[in-house]
Amino acid sequence: MARMHARKRGTAKSYKKPFRPVPEDLEITPAEVEDLVVSLYRQGNSPSQIGAILRDKHKVPDVKAICGKKIVEILKENQVVMELPEDLLSLIRRAVRMIRHLRSNKRDTYNSVRLTWVESKIRRLVRYYRRTKVLPQNWRYSRETAELIVR
C-alpha cells in the first residue's frame, strides 16, 4: 500500500492515453460489446476482469472508445446492480483477511498498523462515494459488517 505522508512525490507513472481511435479492422459492433459486458458480469466477473477478458479473448482494445461508455455505465443502463464499487470491495476484502490473521496472531503489530491504514482508506473512499451519491448516506464501515459483506 502506498503511504500518504512519508513518501516521495512526483514519481514516474504509466498512464492510459486520453483517446484511442477504434481500429478499422475491428469486427465487433458496439451492441455486441454491450451484450458481452452484461453476460460476463452475470457470470460473476468484476468490471476490471471484464475489460481484461474483452481485451485478451475478444480483441476489444478499449470499451469506451467503441461504445462511448465505460463498463460500469453499460451495467447501469442494463439494470445490472453492483452492490459496492469494485475498489471499495477489494479494500474491504483485504481488511477482512487482515482481521482474520490478527485473530490468530494477536501480537502482530506490523499487520495491526497496516490494518488501520487500510481501514482509513476505506473510510475515505466511503466518504467520497457518499458525496457522489454512489452509496447511501447512512452506509458505514465497521469490522462486523465487513465480515458479512465479503461472504
Is residue 42 included in any domain, yes or no? yes
- Per-residue pLDDT of 127-137, as tens digits, reads 999 999 999 99
d(CA 61, CA 106): 47
Question: Cβ contacts of residue 130 below 8 Å, gap of 6+?
Answer: 136, 137, 139
Task: Kindly report the CATH number assigned to the domain that includes residue 90.
Answer: 1.10.287.10
Structural domain of 115: 86-150
Dump pLDDT digits (tens) for 64-117. 889 989 999 999 999 887 889 999 999 999 999 999 999 999 999 999 999 999
Based on the domain organization, do 144 and 96 belong to the same domain? Answer: yes
Whether residue 73 is found in the same domain as residue 43: yes
Q: Are residues 48 and 97 in the same domain?
A: no
Would you say residue 113 lies in a domain? yes
**Chain centroid to CA 59: how far?**
22
Number of domains present in the structure of the chain: 2
Are residues 73 and 101 part of one domain?
A: no
User: Is 5 in a helix, a strand, or coil?
Assistant: coil
- Which set of grid coordinates corresponds to residue 98? 487482515
